[in-house]
Amino acid sequence: MGSIKDKVAIIGVGCTKFGELWEKDPEDLVVEAAYEALDDAGVAPDDVQAAWIGILYPFTGLSGNTFSDPMKLFGIPVTRVENYCASGMDAFRNACYAVASGVYDVVVACGVEKLMDTGSAGLPMQGFSHPVFGGVSAPGLFALAATRCFNEYGWTKEDLARVAVKNHKNGALHPKAHFRRPITMEDALSAPMIAWPLGRFDCCAMSDGSAALVITRPEIAEKSKHKDDYVLVMANALATATGRPMFSNSTDFLGFPATRYAAKAAYAEAGVKDPAKEISLAEVHDCFSITEILNYQDLGFCAQGDGAAFVAEGHADVDGDLPVNASGGLKCFGHPIGATGCRMLYEVTKQLQGRADGAQVKNARLGLAHNLGGPGSVCSVTILGRKD
Amino acid sequence: MGSIKDKVAIIGVGCTKFGELWEKDPEDLVVEAAYEALDDAGVAPDDVQAAWIGILYPFTGLSGNTFSDPMKLFGIPVTRVENYCASGMDAFRNACYAVASGVYDVVVACGVEKLMDTGSAGLPMQGFSHPVFGGVSAPGLFALAATRCFNEYGWTKEDLARVAVKNHKNGALHPKAHFRRPITMEDALSAPMIAWPLGRFDCCAMSDGSAALVITRPEIAEKSKHKDDYVLVMANALATATGRPMFSNSTDFLGFPATRYAAKAAYAEAGVKDPAKEISLAEVHDCFSITEILNYQDLGFCAQGDGAAFVAEGHADVDGDLPVNASGGLKCFGHPIGATGCRMLYEVTKQLQGRADGAQVKNARLGLAHNLGGPGSVCSVTILGRKD
């Protein structure tokens, strides 16, 4: 196996404001994100040679036309990638391979989802209707991980609440976040219960949004508008675990094998030996507060069992030694499914370039984005680095 | 833009029997096709580094787990690609880029669909419910192309019937085809009408099936079980046209712009100057008899307006100068949507290797596979060549 390292560069990023965008169609969101990315790259729409669109929800959009129709880009290839909640980052991954193969010079990866119109009840998740756990919800599933960890490690609702407080503090500063207000520990702890021990502030919201990236080879990036601050793709890992890990007797509910697989592959590909020391910042999949804590462990930011301490001790703060979700995360952006992975890459790119929309991480050189789906059956880990 | 040419090789292919496979799940079909391909390649399942799965129908399978779960291949990346009826060939295309990028050595591309359990009524094709053409069916849409061509070129039901007779003659010889009996012109012309002028034998059937390919780089293929007869990927084009061409006022119903875009790109990538002379054989998307005739034209096998003569004069016969659908085509295999593109590539590969299951085309050196979807909004064209 080889590596994507030094073969692919990001030269433009775009992102809509996330939120309850009742007045916008998915087509509007794609156009808004993609045109912002193209403008950022200084690339004309007609210069796009191929595109990839990440979207889960078949009733919002189907096939490559989800991108080509609103963009009026006909004659070029557009692939739809769907991989549960990791759809957006996997669309980006496939776009990277196509560029690295030498076939295309300039391509776009875009993620989009519109959840407000139909809600997750419309999602094609018949898998949730398992004969044993029939009809369980996403909060209900992730709550099982929280209770198991409470029992195993002695974590508490306070440990979960610290994640929500940190992410709301960050999200309050981000102009594109859905929720833009700080919350207190008391707010988080007294919020209505969704699925014990996960209260309202432990769960990410339903949102609409889109994000896009313009990708090329480094030699072309060297002549681009962002020639001085383009971002290199250092690793592009995806891993599948069993399709319904939380319905499996072998699941220990103490972490996600898919994340561990993908992290191991990504670190090997990027040549990262000690992620806790080498990674400057991370956007991780905090669909629930407990997930973010488990991600710290699965990604090797801290030892197994130390996830709650990692956030409590401030390591994950914007001014900590490994800032996590400086954007506000899924907690403040919500999780329009296909969009999230590309939104994370948008954020990491701008952080590395020193032009974050919200809270800026200092001296960021190597950034990680982590997108979990399935729930827990698939994980995408991308590592981006500054050109210099 | 560059080319995939000489960067990717096919070293193993597998295909289930297509048909009404009531006793099999999609998981059974994936395992059957993929294990046949791995066995053909002499590659162990554990040596597969990544996979791509093409599937349209979200209620049959979702995400990469559609492949990883039945194959019990965990820890590796599996991407689901969906691009209407071209899903299978686009999965293969993305797998090729990943190999050509140098990141992976050995990967699998697989397509699968199971239509019998729910029928196309379950397909997520709400787009068919257009306010103008509300509720029109696929035969109803393609019938519009037939009537337009009857008017423009003087083609008749006999011209359509010749396609069905040719394909049934071929399919009768193929052990994996759904329908394996020859039909006469009288059979075709007297069949029950579906959507005038398309009768039962002008329409492909509903079927279940799966097909898979093992892909690697040529230098690895040189040491493989198929070192003497592996097949090279010469071009890998995909093109989108407007999402609902047959609902567009600008459509002339005399061909498919997506096919013309993709063919042009594929010929440029493979260095083909005169397809009618250089292509040895083709598997084309004959979802309806009229589609196959229009494909001849759109692919440059003959001039615009000469499609009906092309089949009438025997050019498309197995012993003609450009055999088309020597397998029996969609007409005899049916069209389990995600599977079809990979099934075509299976066929073209074995034809080029001189080991076709059914009718063998003589001296095949360059083969083309054409997968149309949308209907008409997306097209994939792959060109394969013998190693020597």
B339–chain A Cβ distance below 8 A for any pair: no
> Best mutation site among A103, A242, A377, A381 for testing chain B: the one with the most B CBs within 10 Å?
A103
Of A111-120, A318-327, B165-174, B369-378, the poorest mean pLDDT is in A111-120
> How far apart are the C-alpha atoms of A51 and A215, rounded to whole Å?
10
Q: Sort out which chain B residues have CB atoms less than 8 A from A2's CB and list them.
A: 101-104
Q: Compute the half-sphere exposure of residue A359: CA atoms within 13 Å on the CB side of its CA.
A: 25
Which residue from B minimizes the CA distance to A373? B63
The larger pLDDT score, comparing residue A28 to residue B248, is at A28
Closest CA to B208 of B24, B66, B364, B355: B24
> Tokens 């996979």 sit at which residue?
B51
In sequence order, what are the residues at sequence separation of 6 or more whose Cβ sits closer than 8 angstroms to the Cβ of residue A328?
A167, A168, A170, A171, A172, A173, A174, A177, A179, A358
> Best mutation site among A6, A57, A72, A79 for testing chain B: the one with the most B CBs within 10 Å?
A79
B259–chain A Cβ distance below 8 A for any pair: no
A376 Rama class: left (phi>0) / alpha (psi -120 to 50) / beta: left
Set B168, B174, B335, B370: catalytic member: B335
A124–chain B Cβ distance below 8 A for any pair: yes
Record: contact A127-B62, CB cut-off 8 A: yes
Q: Where are the alpha helices (DSSP H) in chain B?
A: 26-41, 65-71, 87-100, 138-153, 157-171, 185-189, 218-221, 257-270, 275-278, 289-298, 307-312, 329-333, 337-352
Are A7 and A217 contacting, i.e. CB atoms less than 8 angstroms apart?
yes
Give the right CATH number for B9-117+207-221 from 3.90.1300.10, 3.40.50.300, 3.40.47.10, 3.40.50.10490. Answer: 3.40.47.10
Residue A381, beta-bridge partner list: A237, A370
> Tokens 């992730």 sit at which residue?
A142
- What ipTM was predicted for this assembly? 0.96
Is A9-118+207-221's fold the same as A138-199+231-386's? yes
B46–chain A Cβ distance below 8 A for any pair: no
Give the right CATH number for A138-199+231-386 from 3.50.50.60, 3.40.190.10, 3.90.226.10, 3.40.47.10. Answer: 3.40.47.10
Per-residue pLDDT averaged across B270-289, rounded?
A: 98
Pairing of strands A9-15, A281-283: unpaired
Q: Sort out which chain B residues have CB atoms less than 8 A from A242's CB and list them.
A: 65, 69, 74
Q: How does A256-292 read in b/e, with b if 16+ C-beta sit within 10 Å?
A: bbbbbbbbbbbbebbebeebeebbbbbbbbbbbbbbb
Nearest-CB residue to A69 (from B68, B77, B242): B242
Q: What pLDDT is stored for residue B116 in this prediction?
A: 83
Residue B281, beta-bridge partner list: B367
Are A301 and A74 contacting, i.e. CB atoms less than 8 angstroms apart?
no
Residue B366, beta-bridge partner list: B385
Q: How does A203-217 read in b/e, with b if 16+ C-beta sit within 10 Å?
A: bbbebbbbbbbbbbb
Q: What pLDDT is stored for residue A158 in this prediction?
A: 98
pLDDT beyond 80 at B59: no
Q: Sort out which chain B residues have CB atoms less than 8 A from A100's CB and list them.
A: 97, 100-103
Pairing of strands A231-240, A208-216: unpaired
> How far apart are the C-alpha atoms of A353 and A231, rounded to whole Å?
8
Element (H, E) at A291: helix A289-298
Nearest-CB residue to A82 (from B80, B98, B374): B80
Set A15, A85, A287, A379: catalytic member: A85
pLDDT beyond 70 at B129: no
Q: Sort out which chain B residues have CB atoms less than 8 A from A97's CB and list them.
A: 94, 97-98, 100-101, 103
Rounded mean pLDDT of chain B?
Answer: 93
Q: Please report, as a single letter, which amino acid is at residue B225.
A: K
> Tokens 């397998």 sit at which residue?
B327
Q: Is A85 a catalytic residue?
A: yes
Q: CATH code for B139-202+231-386? A: 3.40.47.10
DSSP state of B83: B
Q: How many CB atoms lie within 10 A of CB A134?
A: 8
What are the pLDDT digits (tens) for A184-234?
Answer: 999 999 999 999 999 999 999 889 999 999 999 999 999 999 999 999 999
> Tokens 């010929």 sit at which residue?
B267
In sequence order, what are the residues at sequence separation of 6 or more whose Cβ sits closer than 8 angstroms to the Cβ of residue A41?
A11, A12, A106, A214, A224, A225, A226
Q: How confident is residue B128, by pLDDT bands cut at 50, 70 and 90?
A: very low
For every residue of A231-281, DSSP letters joined together read: EEEEEEEEEE--S-GGG-TT--SSS-HHHHHHHHHHHHHHT-S-HHHH--E
B122–chain A Cβ distance below 8 A for any pair: no
Closest CA to B48 of A376, A99, A240: A240
> Tokens 């909060």 sit at which residue?
A139
Q: Is A130 a catalytic residue?
A: no
Nearest-CB residue to A77 (from B59, B80, B239): B239
Set A174, A178, A315, A335: catalytic member: A335
Q: What is the pTM of this model?
A: 0.96
Q: Sort out which chain A residues have CB atoms less than 8 A from B373's CB and list them.
A: 63
> How far apart are the C-alpha atoms of B230 and B247, rounded to whole Å?
42
Burial class of B360 by CB neighbour count within 10 A (0 to 12, 13 to 18, 19+): middle
State how far residue A36 is from chain B, nearest Cα, in angstroms: 22
A160–chain B Cβ distance below 8 A for any pair: no
Q: In this structure, what token pair is assigned to residue B8?
A: 């990717």
Nearest-CB residue to A104 (from B1, B373, B374): B1
Q: What pLDDT is stored for residue B244 in this prediction?
A: 72
Q: What pLDDT is stored for residue A249 in this prediction?
A: 76
What's domain A9-118+207-221's architecture? 3-Layer(aba) Sandwich (3.40)
Record: contact A77-B63, CB cut-off 8 A: no
DSSP state of A314: T
pLDDT over 90 percentage in chain B: 86
Q: What pLDDT is stored for residue B242 in this prediction?
A: 80
B74–chain A Cβ distance below 8 A for any pair: yes
A306–chain B Cβ distance below 8 A for any pair: no
Domain ranges, ordered by start, for chain B: 9-117+207-221, 139-202+231-386
Record: contact A96-B101, CB cut-off 8 A: yes
A326–chain B Cβ distance below 8 A for any pair: no
For every residue of B28-49, DSSP letters joined together read: HHHHHHHHHHHHHHT--GGG--
DSSP state of B301: S
> Tokens 């979702």 sit at which residue?
B62
Q: What pLDDT is stored for residue A169 in this prediction?
A: 98
Of A179-183, B128-132, B309-313, the poorest mean pLDDT is in B128-132
State how far residue B233 is from chain A, nearest Cα, in angstroms: 13
A-B contacts at Cβ under 8 angstroms: 192
- Residue ranges for chain A with pLDDT beneath 50: 122, 124-133
Q: What pLDDT is stored for residue B133 in this prediction?
A: 46
What are the pLDDT digits (tens) for A95-141?
Answer: 999 999 999 999 999 999 998 876 555 454 444 444 444 557 889 88
